[in-house]
Each structure stands twice: as C-alpha cells, then as structure tokens.
Amino acid sequence: MKKSFLVLFGIVLSFVVSAQNKISVDFVNGHLGENVIVCSQVFGIKQTDKVTFINVGAAYSGSPLTVVIFTKDLANFKDNPSALYNDKKICVIGKLQDYKGKTEIVITQPSEIILQ
C-alpha cells in the first residue's frame, strides 16, 4: 500500500507541477500576481509570535523570495517549519505578491511546500 501511495502522490505532484508556471527564484519579481512554483535552497528561517519567515534563494536581507506562514496556520504542519525546511531545497507553490518591496508567497498548508 505504501508503494501505491507514493506512485499516486508522484502522479498528483506531476499534475500540480505541470499545471503551474515553474519559474526560477531569480525571476520572481517579474511574476507578481501569478500562481507559480519556485524551487530553491532555504537559507534561513525566522519565527516570531505572529509569523514564520522562510528565506529562499539567499540569506536575509538579500533573499529574492520569502515564504510566509502565519502562526494561526502552524497547526496545519506536523513539525515546526524550522525543523522541516531549514537548509533544505524546496519547491513552493503559491501566488507571488509584493509586501513593502519584498516578494513573498503566503502559505497555509504543508502541501504548498515540497522537499526536493
């Protein structure tokens, strides 16, 4: 059963990836407002009492993309995002938006981040 689940997961993931616009982290600014998939290295994670910030593509403050998880959504994650994603290569699925001159994707579910 585990093998069939993995095959099914791979098929679903392939469909999701092909249905989205996969772009390089270096070009996120040119795709604001679009639903995309961005794959790159995590260079640091910062948690506050209100939000978790995941720096993708470079260390803060030069990170071209910040993945944002609000504290209310952390309950959806099995483990703390720092334990799950820090120093790992990930793909993020979501809508690119600008927040005070920085490009970000706000996520609410662990299915929006895929470990590579």
> What confidence tier does 5 reach under pLDDT thresholds 50, 70, 90?
low
Burial of 36: CB neighbours in 10 Å, binned 0-12, 13-18, 19+:
buried
Query: What are the boundaries of each domain within the chain?
Result: 22-115
Closest by Cα among 49, 48, 39 to 94: 39
Domain 22-115 adopts which CATH fold?
OB fold (Dihydrolipoamide Acetyltransferase, E2P) (2.40.50)
pLDDT at residue 54 tops 90: yes
Least confident of 7-11, 103-107, 108-112: 7-11
pLDDT at residue 34 tops 90: yes
> What confidence tier does 107 reach under pLDDT thresholds 50, 70, 90?
very high
Q: Report if pTM > 0.75.
A: yes
